[in-house]
Structure 1
Amino acid sequence: MPLSVFDRLAVLRIEYPMVFKNKNPYTKRVSHCGVLEFSAEEGFVLLPDWMMKNLNLEEGQLVTLENTTLPKGTYMKIQPHSTNHNFNILEAKPSSAISVVETDCEVEFAVPLDYKETEKSKVESGKSQEETKFKPFMGVGRRLDGQPSTAPAEPSTASAESMVKEDGVKDVKEKNLKKDEQKFQPFTGKKYRLAE
C-alpha cells in the first residue's frame, strides 16, 4: 500500500493489527488480509498472486479496500488440497470471517479433496468386531526377585467359562506362591548396634 494510506490510518487511530477487507467490485468476491509494508506507488496496492486468483482479479484491475476489525476465531474447519498446499475453509466461528492472530482457535480437518481410499483401509474398516475387541495385557509377567514366574506363559481371555475352569488352578498357584514367599528372604545381613 502507498505511504499516504498509512498517514491517513494513523490519524484515524485504527485498531491493530491492521486488517483490510478486499473486494472485487465486478465479481463481489471478498477476502481479508493484513499489510506487509507501505511502500507501493501512489494509487496502487500489491496483492499476492494467490489472493488475486481468489478474488478473480487481473493485474491492473480495480479493487476496493476497507479497514475492518474481525472477531477472534474460536473454531475453524478446513479441507486441505494435498497437491498444492492450499485449503478450503468450510466453516468458521463466531462469524464467516475471523482473526486467527493471537487467539486459541480450535481447528478441525475435513477429508482432503484428492483423498482416495486404499485397499488396505477398506480391509481394515471391514474387520469384524471380534478382531477389534479390546485385549487386556498380552505380555509375560516377571518377578522382581529373579525367581521364575508362576503365571501362565500364554495370555488368557477373561471369559466366564475360563474363570470357572481356572478356579482349581488358582488354588494350586496360591499355595505355590506362599511356599515361594516363605523360601525367599530379601535381607539376610546381620544386625549391628553402635556402642554407647
Structure 2
Amino acid sequence: MWRVGGGGGGSRFEASYRVYPVSFIDKTQLENGDKVILPPSALDRLASLRIDYPMLFQVSNPKEQKMSHCGVLEFVADEGHAYIPYWMMQNLLLSEGDLIKFKSISLSKGTYVKLRPHTSDFLDISNPKAVLEMTLRNYSCLTKGDAILVNYNNKRYFIDIVETQPGDAVTIIETDCEVDFAPPLDYVEPKRVPAKTGGPAGPELGQASGQKKDEEAKEEEEVPSFVAFAGTARRLDGKPQTSVSIPIPQQKQGASSSTAGSSGTKGGGGSSLGKPGSLGKRAAGKLVFGRDSSGKSANPDLPKPPPLSLRQQQASQKKQKEEEKKPESPKFQAFTGKSYKMT
C-alpha cells in the first residue's frame, strides 16, 4: 500500500510493506550495505514525483518507535513486500512479515562521523581504515544510533554510529567525510600501578636493593683473578734458595762512586758494583750476578768465596768413587747366542 503526499514545493512518497530479509530472494550480498528491494509499483509512483536523486528513504517501525535510513537497489520485489538487510531489521526490532513504513527523504552530505566498534579485534586488522572505506562504499547514508555490519575475512564486525554531522542522518555518497573512532565497547583501560616512593615501603625497598648489591659484590670478590709471577722459585739441586741481589750498572760515567759504594753487601749474600770503571768492556744495561763464567769476580772489590770445608771435600770425593765403581751397562754384541742341533 502506498500514498503520495505534497508539501514544500515538492511531492513525497510514503508506503507501507511487509518486510523480509534479503536472504529470501538469494541476495545475501546486500547484507554488506543499506540497499533495499522494493516492488515495481513504488518505481512507477516515484517516477511521477519530483524527488531528489539518489533516492533515499526513511524507514520506521511504528510499533517500537525505531527509525533508520536506506537507499534502494532494485524494484523487483513482490507487491506489498519489501526486502531489507537483516542487520537493519535488528536495529528496527522487526520480525519477518512485520509492517514497515517507507518515506522518501533528502539528506545533507556528511562531514563528520564518529564510529565505535563492538569488539577490540576490529582494531587488530592490519588496515582497518581501508576495510572501512571499502565497506562504506555499499552504504548510501548513515544514521546516528544504528549499528552497521562490516564483513571482513569471513568474520562479522558490528560498528555503532555514535555521531554524525551536520545532522543525525547524513548521506555519504560522493562526499569527503572525516571519520573518528571511539574506544570499543569491550575495551578495558589497563590499571596504572603508582610507583612506591618513600612511606613505609620505601626503606624496605632500599634495604633489599642494598643487600642485592652487597651479594653481587661478594660474588665478584670470590672469583679468583689472575696474578702474574705469583709462584715460588725452586733450585734444580734441591738446596734452599738464597736471595741474590741483582745490581744494575749505571749508564752514566759521571755518577758518584759514593752512591755505588753505599749499596754494599748486607747479610753476606749480596754484592755491589763498586767503581763505575770496573765494568770494562761490558755493555751498558747488562745484568751481572757477582762473577763471570770463568769464576773471576766482576768486581775486584768483592771478597773471594770461602774454601770448601774438609767434610764437604770428603763427601764429594766419596761420591766420585761410587760413580766410578758402578758397572757399565752391557753393550749389544751380535751373534753371541747359543747354538742347538736338531737330532
Q: TM-score band (shorter)?
A: 0.5 to 0.7
Q: 2:181 corresponds to which residue?
A: 109
Task: State whether structure 2 residue 91 is matched by structure 1 residue 54.
Answer: yes
CA distance in 2 between partners of 1:108 and 1:50 (Å): 22
CA distance in 2 between partners of 1:86 and 1:63 (Å): 23
Deviations 1:36-73 (A, max 9, x none): 21100001111111000000011001110000011101
The Cα of 1:118 is off from its aligned counterpart by 5.3
Alignment of 1:155-166 (within 5 A): none
Matched residue type, 1:75: Y
CA distance in 1 between partners of 2:159 and 2:68 (Å): 15
Picking from 157, 165, 190, the partner of 1:85 is 157
The Cα of 1:13 is off from its aligned counterpart by 3.0
Task: State whether structure 2 residue 167 is matched by structure 1 residue 95.
Answer: yes
Matched residue type, 1:68: I
Q: Which one has the largest radius of gyration?
A: 2
SS in 2 for 1:36: strand
CA distance in 2 between partners of 1:21 and 1:118 (Å): 42
Alignment of 1:162-173 (within 5 A): none
The Cα of 1:89 is off from its aligned counterpart by 1.2
Task: State whether structure 2 residue 15 is matched by structure 1 residue 15.
Answer: no
The Cα of 1:14 is off from its aligned counterpart by 1.5
Taking structure 1 as the reference length, what is the TM-score of the superposition? 0.59
Q: 1:43 corresponds to which residue?
A: 80
The Cα of 1:79 is off from its aligned counterpart by 0.5
SS in 2 for 1:12: coil
SS in 1 for 2:72: coil
Deviations 1:113-144 (A, max 9, x none): 1123458xx58xx9xxxxxxxxxxxxxxxxxx
Unpaired segments ≥5 residues, structure 2:
1-37, 122-155, 196-343
Matched residue type, 2:79: E
CA distance in 2 between partners of 1:85 and 1:35 (Å): 23
Q: 2:106 corresponds to which residue?
A: 69
Q: 2:304 corresponds to which residue?
A: none
CA distance in 1 between partners of 2:116 and 2:170 (Å): 17
Task: State whether structure 2 residue 65 is matched by structure 1 residue 28.
Answer: yes
Matched residue type, 1:45: A
Taking structure 2 as the reference length, what is the TM-score of the superposition? 0.34
Matched residue type, 2:58: K
Matched residue type, 1:116: V
Aligned residues: 123
Unpaired segments ≥5 residues, structure 1:
127-196
SS in 1 for 2:171: coil
CA distance in 1 between partners of 2:69 and 2:118 (Å): 21
What do you get for the CA RMSD once the two structures are aligned?
Answer: 2.0
SS in 2 for 1:9: helix
CA distance in 2 between partners of 1:50 and 1:91 (Å): 19
Percent sequence identity over aligned pairs: 51
